[in-house]
């Protein structure tokens, strides 16, 4: 059984419309998660270690003010298009669209005010919560009125995140959740002792602004071969890597499949990622620099968390050979990602 509770979390400032932000607490025997109606943010995710002790394994803030300030998308749903679009530009049906540039020369995670920075309406479900918003035609430069539903459900050890959308005009869409994990517990110094595997035979090399070059490269014989578990710290050293911020290309298909697994030997915590999406961005928190004060006054230095963002491939709108990123009127965007927590 999952218990669901809703409570007040804070108020938006008057200049942002002053709406009330709620927190939804989903609790099973083995997982407790807190989700905000602001940005659909996973603010807390507590899971057991092998001794049955709960720890919060996601980075974030204690108050709404923390999330209102500039931060690297902790726990949020990002969109309309997750990841980067080169030069913030694309053309569609003979029309050019220019987006806001918020990541060097590129547009990242929806632009200046993406889905992570807005209030969603919420509906409590027996085992979770469903959020809804209408992204109006032209918001952040994107075409079409886009209706979006994000549904979190908790069942035992498994947190499911379902994304659905419908549009009035053809638009690119790629939604993900940007939670930062540390299975030792948030506020722990690094994730070097985590063992990770990703079920991908290929990945996308990127240019110096993190835009895919267009090549789909085999992982075989490279530092990107994570098909067998590697201990992260040793692996980065062995291949002289500063970290990961890359899309791994998953086996295509609409069915649920296991795509990544992370194991933390000291605590026994294990997290599996299952998804219907064609890609997963593995990011090792390279841009964290210890300047943000997080939950319980924790600081978050470089490599103190990892992200496994299930999504379409970055810049797919400008790369015809990448998986289709367009949603047409009359169609439904529908993807699910499952996070499964256990101990070993």
Residues making up the annotated binding site for beta-D-galactose are: 83-84, 178-180, 245
Tokens of 316: 């797919």
Beta strands in 230-314 (DSSP E): 230-231, 245-249, 257-264, 269-275, 279-283, 307-311
CB atoms within 10 A of CB 125: 15
Backbone angles phi, psi at 330, to 5 degrees: 90, -15
Question: How far apart are the C-alpha atoms of 311 and 277, rounded to whole Å?
Answer: 6
Phi/psi of residue 116, each to 5°? -75, -15
- Give the C-alpha distances (Å, rounded to integers) separating 163 from 4, 95, 166, 335, 343: 20, 27, 11, 5, 28
- The question of whether 215 is a catalytic residue gets the answer no
Residue 278 has what DSSP assignment?
S
Instruction: Give the sheet arrangement for strand 128-135, strand by strand.
Output: 121-125, 128-135, 146-155, 158-167, 333-343, 269-275, 257-264, 195-198, 230-231
Residue numbering of the annotated binding site? 83-84, 178-180, 245
Q: Which two tokens stand for residue 134?
A: 């209408």
Q: Is 139 designated active site?
A: no
Q: Which strand (E) or helix (H) includes residue 194?
A: none
Catalytic one among 34, 46, 140, 178?
A: 178
The span from the CA of 172 to the CA of 179, in Å, is 22
State the DSSP code for 206.
Answer: B
Which sequence positions are flagged as catalytic? 178, 309
């Amino acid at each position: 059984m999952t218990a669901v509770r809703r409570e007040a979390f804070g108020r938006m400032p008057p200049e942002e419309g002053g709406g009330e932000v709620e927190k939804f607490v989903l609790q099973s025997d083995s997982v407790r998660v807190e989700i905000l109606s602001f940005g659909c943010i996973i603010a807390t995710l507590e899971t057991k270690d092998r001794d049955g002790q709960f720890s919060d394994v996601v980075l974030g803030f204690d108050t709404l003010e923390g999330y209102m300030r500039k931060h690297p998308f902790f726990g949020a749903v990002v969109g309309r298009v997750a990841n980067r679009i080169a030069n913030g530009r694309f053309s569609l049906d003979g029309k050019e669209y220019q987006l806001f540039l918020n990541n060097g020369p590129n547009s990242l995670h929806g632009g200046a005010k993406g889905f992570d920075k807005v209030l969603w309406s919420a509906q409590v479900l027996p085992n979770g919560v469903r959020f809804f918003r209408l992204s109006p035609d032209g918001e952040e430069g994107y075409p079409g009125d886009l209706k979006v539903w994000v549904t979190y459900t908790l069942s035992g050890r498994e947190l499911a995140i379902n994304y659905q959308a419908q549009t009035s005009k053809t638009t690119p869409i790629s939604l993900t959740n940007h939670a930062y994990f540390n299975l030792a517990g948030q506020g722990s110094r690094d994730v070097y002792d985590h063992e990770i595997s990703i079920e991908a035979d290929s990945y996308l090399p990127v240019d110096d602004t993190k835009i895919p070059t267009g090549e789909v490269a085999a992982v075989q014989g490279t530092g990107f071969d994570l098909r067998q578990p590697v201990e992260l710290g040793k692996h980065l050293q062995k291949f002289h890597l500063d970290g990961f911020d890359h899309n791994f290309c998953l086996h295509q298909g609409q069915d649920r499949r296991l795509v990544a697994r992370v194991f933390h030997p000291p605590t026994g915590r294990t997290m599996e990622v299952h998804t219907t999406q064609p890609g997963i961005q593995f990011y090792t928190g390279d841009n964290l620099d210890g300047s943000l004060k997080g939950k319980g006054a924790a600081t978050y230095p470089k490599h103190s968390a990892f992200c496994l963002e299930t999504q379409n491939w970055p810049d797919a709108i400008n790369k015809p050979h990448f998986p289709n990123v367009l949603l047409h009127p009359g169609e439904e965007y529908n993807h699910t990602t499952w996070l499964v927590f256990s101990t070993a």
